[in-house]
Structure 1
Amino acid sequence: MPIRILDPGLVAQIAAGEVVERPASVVKELVENALDAGASRIEVETEGGGRRRIRVADDGCGIPAAEVPLAFARHATSKLSSAEDLFRVTTLGFRGEALAAIAAVARVICRTRAPEEALGTELRIEGGKILEQRPIARPPGTEMIVEDLFFNTPARLKFLKGEGAERRQIDLWITRYALAYPHIHFILRHNGREIFSLPAAREPRHRFVALYGAELGDALLEVAEETDGIRVYGWISPPGVDRPDRQELVFFVNGRWVQDRMLPAAVLQAYHTLLPSGRYPWAFLWVELPPEQVDVNVHPAKIEVRFRDPDGIFRAVQRAVHRALRESAPVPVFQTVETSGRTPLISARPAPTRSEDLLGAPAEESSSPGLPPLRVIGQIQASYIIAEGPDGLYLLDQHAAHERVLYEALQARRQEGPLPSQPLLQPVLIDVLPEEMSLLEEHRDLLEELGFRIEPFGPRTVRLQAVPAVLSTEAILSVFQDLLFDLRESRRPVEGALEARLIRSICKRAAVKAGQVLSVEQMQHLVQALERCAMPWTCPHGRPTILRFPIGQLARQFGREE
């Protein structure tokens, strides 16, 4: 087949495929145009999951009559005037591709009016060709109607999912932007049925409660921090309020909803000892920074960004989330009734803290909420400690609590230098795989700083000569197997993540076990050490260490008046 220049209509359809992947893409582009136009009210209506009809109407600045046909030309935009503007984009749209791409694969009706003009304009386009333009009477703003999406590219229709799935994608986009712009009234309808009408909210949290409910809204912790020109704010869930997936890790960069791998990693790094394996927090975070510090011209869909200083952004988000967790997370409350199948939420009442160092030396006073002073009552099944506090009954998992105490103690010691090590009276010979031998050699310095002394003893054997002093000799082989697993699973980890993972494994093996009988003195010592922890609510692996039974709840369960 000879080389030839493609037909302009085919070129337009190919370009449209990069911008318009599905009905939700059309909704996204039209809503972003409405936001850029300064709208205070945006209506979105769909039929047939958006394949049959999409309508987006706003009360923004509209389009002057003379510019309406030009708005549907490729690479026509009012948002850029020079190449320099591309590196300081402050609007959601800027590429001048969306309207042309939509018009190339659908039948479009545009009705618009600029406030300074007496009459509006109606433009009809089919498959990229203008059919009619005429003046009409209408209020200021713009109404876009997109019908028969992909009517001229039937192969594209085969890749769309069912109506319900396409409708859910539209719901997702509108929900995200309704959350990002709480001062704007959003209305969403599907097949004539109103899904929601969200009037402008005085406070951003009010919009969140309207979308997600008061139960979750009341439980979330506020994030607010600004450093080095980077502002991070929003809400996150406390330990104990989590999900089985990452879907609600939501980020807005300068008002734009983005899907980025680094930002969720920063949040999860802040939670890394507070969530069980396979569980994820709720996070709704806004990142604001100078526009020249972020490149939004990465993909035609404009949902990916590139930061000039990605490490600085990572640190800012991680630090802001970690500070909110330390300063705001309350003690989990046991609930006897779960509503609507949701994960039980937690009390938002902070408790006083203790300020002694874990090893008994004085420490700086902490403003973060911790545990009140507790009096040990006894032990259940040689696994759980019962204690009394000023506001109710507390139940502690002795293994998880001791893990947390050891973890914070070892982390504090690491700030001062290598962890104490104990030589083995009889070195242990262990066979390893070639890959594991390489990993041990690669991380030899780190392992020595954590208290392990390991030497090669043949091509596939190592000699373990010393282990961290906190370990008992019975746990040596188990810890070594955990160590090898952590090294295999942590290839090129985030800085500090491998060390923290190894310390967690050490603590898991060194902590008292479930089924181990403790004396009252030992239990009281453990409880007091947990009281002094900075984050006492979970073990380093994210499991709860403690539950609280408020005195009022106990009174109700026994039929007493509060």
Structure 2
Amino acid sequence: MPIQLLRPEVSSRIAAGEVIERPASAVKELVENALDAGASRIQIEIRAGGTEYIRVTDDGGGIPTNQVELAFQRFATSKLSDSEDLEAISTLGFRGEALPSIASVSRVEMRTRAHDKDSGTCIEIEDGETLSLSSAGLPVGTTLIVRNLFRNFPVRRKFLRSPASEHTRIQTVVSHYAMAYPEVAFELRADRGRPFTTAGSGDLRDAVSAVHGRRVAEAMLEVSSDGEIAEPSVAGLIGPPTLDRANRTYISLFVNRRWVQSRSISYAIEQSYHGFMAERRYPVAVLNISVPYDDVDVNAHPAKAEIRFKRENRVFGAVQRAVRKTLTDHAPVPEVSHRAVSRPDSPQYSQRTQPGNPSAFWPTAPFSPSRGSNVGSRNSPHPRHTADLGDFLAPHDPSESTSPPSITPGKALPVLRVLGQIRSTYVIAEGPDGMYMIDQHAAHERIMFEKVRAQTSAGTPEVQSLLEPAVVELDARKMELILTQTEAISGMGFVLEPFGDNSVILRGVPALLKDSDQASALVDVLDLMADGGGFETWEERAAYSIACHGAIRAGKVLSPEEMRELVTQLEQCAQPNTCPHGRPTMIHMSSGQLEREFGRT
């Protein structure tokens, strides 16, 4: 095929595909235009996840009549005039690509009136061609309606997710800009689900409350730079170490109030929590970093999601110092406390010794040893996930043991003799042909994963009813997940009831999680399900989320009986050699290898 120039309609669609990847991209560009126009109120309405209908209305400065058509020409912008302006960009938008890109793959209607004009202008454009242009009486501001996005771009449209998923992505965009601009009132309405609104009070805590819930907002700590250096300055809110989450999605970063993704800054925040928070747990943070405009390059990504810093090390250090100082200033002084021992006639004692209850051999009750022996405990460095085993010294009736069913392993393990534990993380065992080093967390994940999968397949999840039901606040993403995946979530053993707009009543939890913080367990499980963990079906995601949350952690000191029970349960797994993610649960060093290492051969 000879080299040739592409037709304008083809090149415009290619360019649009880089800027407008999905409905959330269109909403992001339109919201940024509204913020650049000085809006104090932004209303968004969507249908079918934004594929059929998007309407964004603002009360900003509007567009003069003689510039309305020009606004839809590629590279037409009011925010730059020459190349030198690219060195210090102060606005969210600047390329002049958003409106023409959207108009080239949809039907667009704009209604706008400038603040110094008596009337406004209406324009309709389809596939980049102007259909009508007229004057009309309009309020100050701009309304832009997008219909049938990607109608002429089926290759892009067929790769979109479900309307519910696209709606969630749009809400993510809107909620982040609501936190970046707490003085602006946002409203997002869809044809399904609950509306998302913020008051526009100017208080970041109010915006965080609308996004993450009131309890999270009230618990967060205020961050501000120490004042030793003028820039970069860091401001916002971070969660205390007790407010941890299962993934990084709760870290919201803004640079000069632009929502960005930055591995470097995220890592700086995570490192600031080192020593305060358990491993594989992540903080809640909403931080804005203010730097000189000429010290940051925002023109590094088509969607403007990634940026480059001129002095990245300086930014990294400023964020780390600010967050660490806040955590240190608010660190509580540990208090000595004694946990009451339940008397035999107390309700707690009777509940724990009821026949049929899973043995509390672990705080997460993954094992039901048939030996009936009382097991001692050691202190755990992660009380969030594993409670003091001293509370679980109730007698165990072997006849009531809920031991796992007999399973024929795909690759059977030999009978192993436990020798001890290294670094409170690895169990050392001897087999017929050498030594085995077992990762206790990975092994326990495999055990719990297969147990949950077996219960789900049989339709008989073990449910622990709560004596005191808990009200759990959830964000829109998790509420949407509960509504769309009710069967998978209830199949795990969660018993939920709707309670208000953004809350549920938790009446029961999977028995494997009965001794953890049930409200936090539900939040973590929903986060892990949303991430997917690489699993295709929701049933596998559900089983993985329970296993990941409930498994014992590295650093947990195990007694000899606990180590033996862990190995016994692992031997009965169908796939004992790997965790649900495929990581090895053990390393085998054969007798021959040992002899070679010691020079005996």
* TM over 0.5, shorter chain: yes
User: Structure 1 residue 198: deviation in Å?
Assistant: 2.0
Structure 1 distance, partners of 2:110, 2:117, is 16
% identity of equivalent residues: 45
Q: Does 1:275 find its partner at 2:277?
A: yes
- Which amino acid in the other structure matches residue 88 of structure 1? A
Any conservation in 1 of the 2:272–2:324 contact (CA below 8 Å)? yes
Q: Size of the alignment, in residue pairs?
A: 370
User: Structure 1 residue 23: deviation in Å?
Assistant: 0.5
**Structure 1 unpaired stretches of 5+:** 330-368, 384-395, 402-473, 486-507, 516-562
Equivalent residue for 1:214?
214
Structure 2 distance, partners of 1:247, 1:477, is 30
Cα distance change of structure 1 residues 144 and 399 upon mapping to structure 2, 3 Å threshold: closer
Q: How does 1:406-421 map to 2 (within 5 A)?
A: none
Q: Deviation digits for residues 338-364 of structure 1, max 9, x if unmatched?
A: xxxxxxxxxxxxxxxxxxxxxxxxxxx
Equivalent residue for 1:150?
150
User: Structure 1 residue 476: deviation in Å?
Assistant: 8.9
Structure 2 distance, partners of 1:4, 1:285, is 48
Task: Give secondary structure in 1 for the equivalent of 2:286.
Answer: strand
Equivalent residue for 1:225?
225
Structure 1 distance, partners of 2:240, 2:176, is 21
Equivalent residue for 1:107?
107
Q: How does 1:266-345 map to 2 (within 5 A)?
A: 266-329=268-331
Task: Give secondary structure in 1 for the equivalent of 2:175.
Answer: helix
Structure 2 distance, partners of 1:139, 1:397, is 69
User: Structure 1 residue 400: deviation in Å?
Assistant: 3.4
User: Structure 1 residue 196: deviation in Å?
Assistant: 2.6
Any conservation in 2 of the 1:398–1:513 contact (CA below 8 Å)? no
Task: Give secondary structure in 2 for the equivalent of 1:155.
Answer: helix
Cα distance change of structure 1 residues 399 and 99 upon mapping to structure 2, 3 Å threshold: closer
Any conservation in 2 of the 1:399–1:514 contact (CA below 8 Å)? no
- Which amino acid in the other structure matches residue 28 of structure 1? K
Structure 2 distance, partners of 1:142, 1:222, is 35
Q: How does 1:33-432 map to 2 (within 5 A)?
A: 33-191=33-191, 195-226=195-226, 227-228=228-229, 229-329=231-331, 369-372=332-335, 374=336, 398=379, 400=381
User: Structure 1 residue 202: deviation in Å?
Assistant: 4.3
Task: Give secondary structure in 2 for the equivalent of 1:56.
Answer: strand
Any conservation in 2 of the 1:223–1:324 contact (CA below 8 Å)? yes
- Which amino acid in the other structure matches residue 290 of structure 2? E
Task: Give secondary structure in 1 for the equivalent of 2:178.
Answer: helix
Cα distance change of structure 1 residues 327 and 53 upon mapping to structure 2, 3 Å threshold: same
Structure 1 distance, partners of 2:3, 2:75, is 26
RMSD between aligned residues? 3.3
Runs of 4+, deviation exceeding 3 Å:
374-381, 396-401, 474-482, 511-515
- Which amino acid in the other structure matches residue 253 of structure 2? F
Any conservation in 2 of the 1:255–1:286 contact (CA below 8 Å)? yes
Task: Give secondary structure in 2 for the equivalent of 1:66.
Answer: helix
Q: Deviation digits for residues 530-549 of structure 1, max 9, x if unmatched?
A: xxxxxxxxxxxxxxxxxxxx
Task: Give secondary structure in 2 for the equivalent of 1:298.
Answer: coil
Any conservation in 1 of the 2:125–2:131 contact (CA below 8 Å)? yes
Structure 1 distance, partners of 2:251, 2:423, is 38
Q: Deviation digits for residues 435-467 of structure 1, max 9, x if unmatched?
A: xxxxxxxxxxxxxxxxxxxxxxxxxxxxxxxxx
Structure 2 distance, partners of 1:316, 1:48, is 43
- Which amino acid in the other structure matches residue 371 of structure 1? P
Any conservation in 2 of the 1:36–1:93 contact (CA below 8 Å)? yes
Equivalent residue for 2:21?
21
Any conservation in 2 of the 1:45–1:192 contact (CA below 8 Å)? no
Task: Give secondary structure in 1 for the equivalent of 2:320.
Answer: helix
Task: Give secondary structure in 1 for the equivalent of 2:68.
Answer: helix
User: Structure 1 residue 318: deviation in Å?
Assistant: 1.2
Task: Give secondary structure in 1 for the equivalent of 2:224.
Answer: strand
- Which amino acid in the other structure matches residue 74 of structure 1? R
- Which amino acid in the other structure matches residue 381 of structure 2? A
Structure 2 distance, partners of 1:479, 1:301, is 43
Task: Give secondary structure in 1 for the equivalent of 2:249.
Answer: coil
User: Structure 1 residue 277: deviation in Å?
Assistant: 2.9
Task: Give secondary structure in 2 for the equivalent of 1:400.
Answer: coil
User: Structure 1 residue 477: deviation in Å?
Assistant: 9.9
Structure 1 distance, partners of 2:149, 2:422, is 64
- Which amino acid in the other structure matches residue 67 of structure 2? E
Task: Give secondary structure in 2 for the equivalent of 1:160.
Answer: coil
Task: Give secondary structure in 2 for the equivalent of 1:250.
Answer: strand
Cα distance change of structure 1 residues 478 and 2 upon mapping to structure 2, 3 Å threshold: same
Any conservation in 2 of the 1:232–1:288 contact (CA below 8 Å)? yes
Cα distance change of structure 1 residues 45 and 377 upon mapping to structure 2, 3 Å threshold: closer
Q: Return 4-13 or 28-37, whichever deviates more.
A: 4-13
Any conservation in 1 of the 2:252–2:259 contact (CA below 8 Å)? yes
Cα distance change of structure 1 residues 514 and 312 upon mapping to structure 2, 3 Å threshold: farther
Any conservation in 2 of the 1:62–1:112 contact (CA below 8 Å)? yes
User: Structure 1 residue 218: deviation in Å?
Assistant: 1.7
Structure 2 distance, partners of 1:288, 1:41, is 24
Cα distance change of structure 1 residues 131 and 321 upon mapping to structure 2, 3 Å threshold: same
Q: Deviation digits for residues 210-233 of structure 1, max 9, x if unmatched?
A: 332221112212211155311111
Cα distance change of structure 1 residues 475 and 44 upon mapping to structure 2, 3 Å threshold: closer
- Which amino acid in the other structure matches residue 130 of structure 2? I
Equivalent residue for 2:450?
none
User: Structure 1 residue 276: deviation in Å?
Assistant: 2.5
Structure 2 distance, partners of 1:104, 1:244, is 40
User: Structure 1 residue 207: deviation in Å?
Assistant: 2.1
Any conservation in 2 of the 1:54–1:146 contact (CA below 8 Å)? yes
Structure 1 distance, partners of 2:47, 2:93, is 25
Task: Give secondary structure in 1 for the equivalent of 2:124.
Answer: strand
Structure 2 length as normaliser, TM-score? Answer: 0.57
User: Structure 1 residue 162: deviation in Å?
Assistant: 0.7
User: Structure 1 residue 208: deviation in Å?
Assistant: 1.6
Equivalent residue for 2:348?
none
Cα distance change of structure 1 residues 6 and 275 upon mapping to structure 2, 3 Å threshold: same
Any conservation in 1 of the 2:199–2:206 contact (CA below 8 Å)? no
Q: Deviation digits for residues 373-412 of structure 1, max 9, x if unmatched?
A: x48899999x9xxxxxxxxxxxx974639xxxxxxxxxxx
User: Structure 1 residue 478: deviation in Å?
Assistant: 9.2
Structure 1 distance, partners of 2:278, 2:291, is 33
Any conservation in 1 of the 2:244–2:282 contact (CA below 8 Å)? yes
Task: Give secondary structure in 1 for the equivalent of 2:17.
Answer: helix
Task: Give secondary structure in 1 for the equivalent of 2:143.
Answer: strand
Q: Deviation digits for residues 24-63 of structure 1, max 9, x if unmatched?
A: 1110000000000000111100111111110000010000
Task: Give secondary structure in 2 for the equivalent of 1:247.
Answer: helix
Q: Deviation digits for residues 104-130 of structure 1, max 9, x if unmatched?
A: 101000110111112111111100111
Task: Give secondary structure in 1 for the equivalent of 2:55.
Answer: strand
- Which amino acid in the other structure matches residue 41 of structure 2? R
Structure 2 distance, partners of 1:219, 1:203, is 15
